[in-house]
Amino acid sequence: MVCRAWVGALEAAQAGFRAGMANSQRFCIFCGRSGLSREHIWPEWSYRYVPKLGRAHTRMRQRSVAGISGLSDQKRYQGDVNASRIKAVCKDCNSGWMSRLEASARFTLVPLIEGKPAVMAEQRQRVLAAWVAMKSMVIEFSNAEDAVTKEDEREFLMLHMEPPPNWRIWIAKQHGLRWRTGLVRAANTIGFASEGGTKVLPDSSFAKNTQSITLGFGQLLIHAFSTRVPGLEPQPSPPMASALRKIWPLSPGFLWPAGPVITDFGIDALSVALPTLGNSLPWRPARFD
């Protein structure tokens, strides 16, 4: 049987982080308890390395249809994007395991944020990757209806202190200015259909099942990807591939910086690559109405 994938919904929500916006989340995304506190995306200790600039930032929302995408909404918000917080986790998680993971990751993060040389042994990659997954899972809930990660993935992270196997995480050294505190998340729905036959979704749902999160943190650029679609393996395009170094799944230990430095222009393209992923798949995108 010939199978084709189709890019469902053909709509991607791409949002620079919604600063300070309340969401409807009432229970902790990690442990299910109530009594939520607000979590900083860029931790307060990082202001020493990535100063707040005291300026407004822009938030984008993008829709794409059949691979043709365009900005449909763009707004300016007051306040620094790196002072933004998301309400999705409880106090116990925030001040407990999340705080401990952040403290461990900080030793790896600081030299990378400052663009200094570092040895990225496997254990450092694992801790950094776990921190990225933790932050990404919180970031998803700035727009809860488009969240991709399911409970089993969040439980996996808490239990093993490493990202679930369906996550891919890369890092690169960056010299962009806009991306010193940049954040873009793109989410999409991808599924399979037999030739002229039944359409099958990995989670039997039309919910978004594939996402990328691009996070600029000083001179460190992080690109995370997760999908509920079995066997979907993203490959960064050639100009970015040499700059990005995969830390999840782990690479053999490497020296940092590890490749060419990237700038705002390249990161912009990387951050919106997901909405056009359908074009690079060996299958034909199709509508489901």
Q: Which residues of the chain form contacts with Zn ion (CB under 5 A)?
A: 28, 30-31, 33, 90, 93
Measured distance CA(55)–CA(66) in Å, rounded: 36
Pick the closer one to Zn ion by CB: 10 or 36.
Answer: 36
Pick the closer one to Zn ion by CB: 33 or 287.
Answer: 33
Measured distance CA(41)–CA(109) in Å, rounded: 14
Contacts of 16 (CB under 8 A, 6+ apart): 57, 58, 59, 60, 81, 182, 183, 184
What angle is formed at CA 16 by the lines to CA 11 and CA 21, rounded to 5 degrees? 105
Closest distance between Zn ion and the C-beta of residue 152, in Å? 16
Closest distance between Zn ion and the C-beta of residue 87, in Å? 12
Pick the closer one to Zn ion by CB: 15 or 28.
Answer: 28
Nearest of 113, 103, 100, 119 to residue 48 by alpha carbon? 113
Judging by DSSP bridges, how do beta strands 85-90 and 36-40 pair with one another? Answer: antiparallel
Closest distance between Zn ion and the C-beta of residue 141, in Å? 12
Pick the closer one to Zn ion by CB: 30 or 217.
Answer: 30
Closest distance between Zn ion and the C-beta of residue 133, in Å? 16
Closest distance between Zn ion and the C-beta of residue 94, in Å? 7
Pick the closer one to Zn ion by CB: 33 or 100.
Answer: 33
Pick the closer one to Zn ion by CB: 92 or 268.
Answer: 92
Judging by DSSP bridges, how do beta strands 220-227 and 199-200 pair with one another? Answer: unpaired
Closest distance between Zn ion and the C-beta of residue 27, in Å? 8
